[in-house]
């Protein structure tokens, strides 16, 4: 038990300190090369003009670097490499326990985290260095969706053929058999979570929400005796908390696509590995609320000729109503933590024996 505590909580704290140490180096690089948007965003992700959004971001987009998410996945990469190397160079019960890189639990989410982060990093660089009429555009939304679909399909095939997973658990309802339809369902979930990345719009908002989500999944994995996966979620949470330390208003940098795409990809895989994808809409509700409000806004403007929200995603709606950004962020944090706890209860209640 004590080694399990060290493995999960100790490595989480270690990831926090690794990311904190890396921050001055990253900050110096981001500001030295002025890695921020060349122009203030003025359109929603459908390509339509969004004047309220432009007004909300006029003092933030230009001058605040992107790519802060590098802290999260690089700290996870460093901790993983150190623990793996430690177990090989100094073999012992402790070193073997601390090495959480395992084929059946963490290979796939770790690969998803790194692959998604690198694709996001490429998009961030395109955003920063694009010029002319393409200034600030980055990789098009359609192309990013295509890349996410490819990653989702790759992971889905692995789950279906290698892990022989073809069903999901419905809390209080038992097992739902999907058969071959498990593959498109997996891809759909990954795309749905990715679109929730629009939550990265206010200082500290995405960091607090993702920290709560991965903490919840770390707890779920722990109670399911998936200790390597719990440690993986823990080190991601540690890196996110370090990012959040430097992203509390005023933000030193934004998470950027390199953080969002890596985290959403890893989250989808973790949800399936713990077989709790059915409660994902509860635990990650703020992500779905952000993407859902954007979709509803686009649909309403196109087909009804009017807006449902003053601005979308939903957090900008509250800003447009006059709420200070800090109030919006902190209330979303509270909601995220409460829903994460509720989601854990729902996910585990059907699996743990009643005492």
Q: Distance (Å, rounded) from C-alpha 46 to C-alpha 93?
A: 53
pLDDT at 234: 97
Q: Does the pLDDT of residue 133 top 50, yes or no?
A: no
pLDDT band of 354, cuts 50, 70, 90: very low
* Alpha carbon distances (Å) from 327 to 240, 264, 332: 20, 25, 8
For residue 327, give its domain range: 2-349
Q: What is the pLDDT of residues 52-66, one digit of tens each?
A: 555 555 555 567 888
pLDDT at 141: 84
Which phi and psi (to 5°) does residue 159 adopt?
-60, -40
Weakest-pLDDT range from 40-49, 73-82, 220-229, 337-346: 40-49
Highest-pLDDT range among 107-121, 128-142, 194-208: 107-121
Instruction: Kindly state whether residue 355 falls inside one of the protein's structural domains.
Output: no
Q: Does the pLDDT of residue 189 top 90, yes or no?
A: yes
Which phi and psi (to 5°) does residue 94 adopt?
-65, -50
Instruction: Kindly state whether residue 345 falls inside one of the protein's structural domains.
Output: yes
Q: Does the pLDDT of residue 134 top 50, yes or no?
A: no
Average pLDDT taken over every residue of the chain: 88
Q: What is the pLDDT of residues 18-49, one digit of tens each?
A: 999 999 999 999 998 888 877 655 555 555 55
Instruction: Kindly state whether residue 82 falls inside one of the protein's structural domains.
Output: yes
pLDDT at 236: 97
239 Cβ contact list (under 8 Å, min separation 6): 15, 16, 18, 19, 71, 72, 73, 75, 76
Instruction: Kindly state whether residue 354 falls inside one of the protein's structural domains.
Output: no
Q: What is the pLDDT of residues 257-274, one digit of tens each?
A: 999 999 999 999 999 999
pLDDT at 353: 45
60 Cβ contact list (under 8 Å, min separation 6): 251
Q: Does the pLDDT of residue 137 top 70, yes or no?
A: no
Q: Does the pLDDT of residue 339 top 90, yes or no?
A: yes
Instruction: Kindly state whether residue 51 falls inside one of the protein's structural domains.
Output: yes
Q: Does the pLDDT of residue 286 top 90, yes or no?
A: yes
Q: What is the pLDDT of residues 290-305, one digit of tens each?
A: 999 999 998 888 888 8
Q: Is 242 left (phi over 0), alpha (psi -120 to 50) or beta?
A: alpha
pLDDT at 34: 85
Instruction: Kindly state whether residue 169 falls inside one of the protein's structural domains.
Output: yes
Q: Does the pLDDT of residue 355 top 50, yes or no?
A: no
Alpha carbon 15 to its chain centroid, in Å, reads 16
Weakest-pLDDT range from 32-46, 171-185, 234-248: 32-46
Q: Does the pLDDT of residue 233 top 90, yes or no?
A: yes
Q: Does the pLDDT of residue 247 top 90, yes or no?
A: no
pLDDT at 329: 94
Q: Does the pLDDT of residue 123 top 50, yes or no?
A: yes
Using omega within 30 degrees of 0 as the cis cutoff, is the peptide bond preceding 19 cis?
no
pTM recorded for the entire structure: 0.92
Mean pLDDT value across residues 69-97? 93
- Quote the percentage of the chain above a pLDDT of 70: 89
Q: Does the pLDDT of residue 332 top 70, yes or no?
A: yes
Number of domains in the chain: 1
Highest-pLDDT range among 46-50, 85-89, 214-218: 214-218
Instruction: Kindly state whether residue 236 falls inside one of the protein's structural domains.
Output: yes
């Amino acid at each position: 038990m004590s080694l399990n505590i060290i493995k999960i909580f100790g490595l989480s704290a270690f990831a926090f300190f690794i990311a904190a140490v890396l921050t001055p180096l990253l900050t110096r690089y981001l500001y030295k090369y002025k890695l921020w948007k060349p122009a203030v965003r003025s359109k929603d992700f459908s390509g339509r003009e969004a004047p309220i959004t432009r007004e909300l971001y006029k003092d933030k987009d230009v001058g605040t670097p992107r790519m802060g998410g590098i802290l999260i996945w690089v700290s996870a990469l460093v901790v993983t490499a150190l623990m793996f190397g430690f177990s090989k160079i100094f073999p012992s019960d402790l070193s073997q326990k601390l090495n959480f890189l395992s084929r059946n639990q963490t290979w796939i989410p770790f690969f998803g985290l790194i692959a998604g982060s690198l694709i996001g990093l490429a998009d961030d660089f395109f955003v920063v260095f694009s010029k002319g009429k393409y200034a600030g555009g980055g990789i098009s939304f359609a192309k990013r969706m295509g890349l996410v679909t490819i990653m989702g399909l790759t992971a889905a095939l692995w789950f279906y053929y290698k892990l022989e997973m073809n069903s999901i658990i419905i809390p209080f309802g038992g097992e739902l058999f999907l058969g071959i339809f498990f593959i498109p369902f997996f891809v759909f979930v990954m795309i749905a979570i990715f679109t929730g990345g629009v939550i990265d719009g206010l200082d500290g908002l995405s960091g607090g929400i993702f920290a709560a989500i991965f903490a919840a999944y770390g707890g779920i994995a722990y109670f399911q005796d998936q200790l390597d996966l719990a440690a993986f979620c823990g080190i991601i949470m540690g890196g996110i908390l370090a990012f959040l330390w430097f992203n509390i208003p005023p933000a030193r940098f934004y998470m950027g696509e390199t953080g969002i795409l890596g985290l959403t990809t890893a989250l989808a895989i973790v949800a399936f590995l713990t077989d709790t994808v059915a409660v994902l809409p509860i635990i990650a509700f703020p992500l779905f609320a952000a993407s859902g409000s954007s979709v509803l806004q686009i649909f309403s403007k196109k087909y009804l000729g009017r807006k449902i929200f003053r601005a979308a995603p939903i957090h900008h709606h509250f800003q447009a109503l006059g709420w200070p950004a800090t109030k919006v962020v902190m209330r979303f944090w509270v909601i995220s933590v409460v829903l994460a706890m509720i989601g854990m209860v729902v996910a585990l209640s059907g699996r743990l024996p009643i005492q």
